Structure 1
Amino acid sequence: MKMVVAIVRPEKYQDVKDALKAKGITGMTFTHVTGRGKQAGVKFTNRVGEFVVDEIEKVKIEIAVEDDHVPCVIDTVCKAAKTGRSGDGWIFIVPIDEAVRISTYEAPESSGGGSSAEAPHGEEEP
Structure 2
Amino acid sequence: MDDDKFDVAARFFHAVETGNIDEVARIYAPQARIWHNFSRRVQTVEENLKVLRWMDRKLPGRRYEVTRRLSIPGGFMQQHVVRGTLADGTDFAMPACVVCLVEDGRITSLEEYLDPAQAAVLSA
TM-score tier by shorter-chain length is under 0.3
Q: Whose helix fraction is larger, Structure 1's or Structure 2's? A: 2
TM-score by length of 2: 0.25
Larger proportion of strand: 2
Q: Point out the structure with max Rg over C-alpha.
A: 1
- TM-score, normalised to structure 1, is 0.25
Higher RCO (Cα < 8 Å, 6 or more apart):
1
